[in-house]
């Protein structure tokens, strides 16, 4: 009769090989699984029979090492590259010698454009049902903000558009720029982290998310559920300046203001050019500090979504211009009716 093995304890520890073998046997019982994710690394060496890749979950900071034959990569329905969304079938494997877990892939499928659009539409209906697109939740965009948070690709055309146009409209504007990858699997989490950092900055008064146009795959990170919910949760107003007019990522619907292009995204960051704004220009150019202080006094007006920017400007001019009351009192004297009365007298 075989005596039972002694129980595992501090006095009777298992050797590494015993633990590794038990883990490998347990994982081996899982069988094949279908997994979806984004390819972030592809290690394809010349003449190598095995290809090692990393499959990442775009919505979480988690990834899996996957391996497959070079022939399977060559026969894939699309050219495999970093950032491609794929569905793979593989068997989980634990290698006892290195103590590593990986997925041995036997089939690779591409996620088609139609499927991507269908998923975006399902998410759109879900977020709409939860009220994330409700116009009543839109936060007012501040007039002449001191600091604008900008999330965009490093040295991108979108960054140049926003900063150049905004500076031309309001030279005193400052930017807190957070550069992220222009594309690829890490774009989603990078945008999310940048958004949280800018929202936590007390000096940032409005956040602009900017990116030029692109394919459905290029703009997919801006329809990510995690990013959309993060925008909705922001305390700071958010402007979406992603893609061109035909593009419609979900962040456009959640943001407080939609800009048709990246250039339009700069408009909330400053007033109109001096030559075309005779009313605002004297306040903005002659006494910018006083103007900003007065707008701060009009905070209750800014917090009302139904109150137009012109009302805030009017209040600011009235507060900063001491001769304004007497000037306003004289206005009736030059109206048509007053002129007639004057001549009758």
Structural domain contains residue 155 = yes
- Look at the block and give the residue holding tokens 């939860």: 130
The answer on 185 and 87 residing in a single domain is no
Contact between 177 and 171 under an 8 Å Cβ cutoff? The reply is: no
Judge whether 117 lies within some domain.
no
The residue to which tokens 């409209």 are assigned:
169
Report DSSP state, residue 282: I
Residues 241, 143 share a domain: yes
More reliable by pLDDT, 277 or 121: 121
pTM score: 0.56
**Model confidence pLDDT, tens digit, residues 15-27:** 999 999 999 999 9
User: 65 is written with which tokens?
Assistant: 């090492």
Strand partners, 337: none
107 and 138 assigned to the same domain? no
* CATH number of the domain enclosing 48: 2.40.50.140
- H-only helix segments in the chain: 16-28, 70-74, 113-129, 157-169, 187-200, 216-219, 225-233, 250-254, 280-281, 288-297, 299-302, 309-320, 324-330, 336-344
Domain count, the chain: 2
Q: Is residue 269 assigned to a domain?
A: no
Residue 321 lies in a domain: no
In a domain, 334, yes or no: no
* Predicted confidence (pLDDT) per residue in 205-251, tens digit: 999 998 887 777 778 888 889 899 999 999 999 999 887 766 788 99
- The CATH number given to whatever domain includes residue 156 is 3.40.50.960
In a domain, 286, yes or no: no
What is the residue-averaged pLDDT of the chain?
76
Which range marks the domain in which residue 157 is found? 131-262
Q: What is the pLDDT of residue 263?
A: 60
> Both 258 and 144 in a single domain?
yes
Q: Is 33 part of a structural domain of the chain? A: yes
For 329, the token pair is: 């009192």
Let me know if residue 178 belongs to a domain. yes
Residue of 85 and 6 predicted with greater confidence:
85
d(CA 188, CA 193) in angstroms, rounded, equals 9
Burial letters 161-193, b for 16+ CB under 10 A, else e: bbbebbbebbeebebbbbebbbbbbbbbbbbbe
Q: Are residues 50 and 164 in the same domain?
A: no
């Amino acid at each position: 009769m075989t005596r039972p093995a002694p129980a595992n304890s501090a006095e009777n520890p298992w050797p590494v090989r015993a633990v590794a073998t038990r883990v490998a046997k347990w994982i081996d019982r899982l069988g094949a699984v279908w997994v979806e994710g984004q390819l972030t690394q592809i290690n394809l060496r010349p003449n190598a029979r095995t290809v090692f890749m990393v499959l990442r979950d775009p919505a979480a900071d988690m990834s899996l090492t996957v391996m497959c034959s070079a022939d399977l990569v060559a026969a894939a329905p699309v050219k495999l590259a970093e950032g491609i969304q794929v569905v793979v079938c593989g068997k989980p494997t634990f290698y006892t010698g290195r103590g590593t877990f990986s997925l041995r892939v036997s089939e690779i499928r591409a996620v088609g454009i139609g499927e991507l659009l269908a998923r975006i539409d399902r998410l759109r209906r879900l977020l709409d049902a939860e009220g994330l697109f409700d116009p009543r939740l839109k936060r007012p965009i501040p007039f002449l903000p001191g600091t604008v948070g900008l999330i965009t690709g490093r040295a991108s055309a979108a960054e140049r558009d926003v900063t150049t146009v905004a500076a031309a409209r309001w030279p005193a504007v400052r930017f807190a720029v957070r550069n992220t990858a222009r594309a690829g699997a890490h774009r989603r989490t990078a945008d999310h982290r940048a958004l949280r950092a800018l929202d936590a900055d007390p000096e940032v008064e409005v956040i602009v998310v900017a990116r030029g146009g692109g394919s459905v795959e290029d703009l997919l990170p801006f329809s990510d559920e995690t990013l959309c919910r993060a925008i909705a949760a922001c305390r700071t107003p958010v402007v979406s300046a992603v893609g061109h007019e035909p593009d419609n990522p979900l962040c456009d619907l959640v943001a407080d203001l939609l800009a048709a292009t990246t250039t339009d995204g700069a408009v909330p960051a400053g007033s109109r050019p001096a030559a075309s704004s005779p009313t605002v220009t004297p306040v903005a150019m002659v006494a910018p500090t006083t103007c900003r202080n007065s707008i701060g006094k009009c905070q209750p007006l800014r917090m009302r979504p139904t109150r137009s920017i012109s009302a805030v400007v009017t209040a600011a001019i009235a507060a900063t211009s001491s001769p304004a009351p007497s000037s306003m009192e004289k206005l009736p004297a030059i109206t048509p009716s007053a002129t007639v009365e004057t001549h009758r007298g």
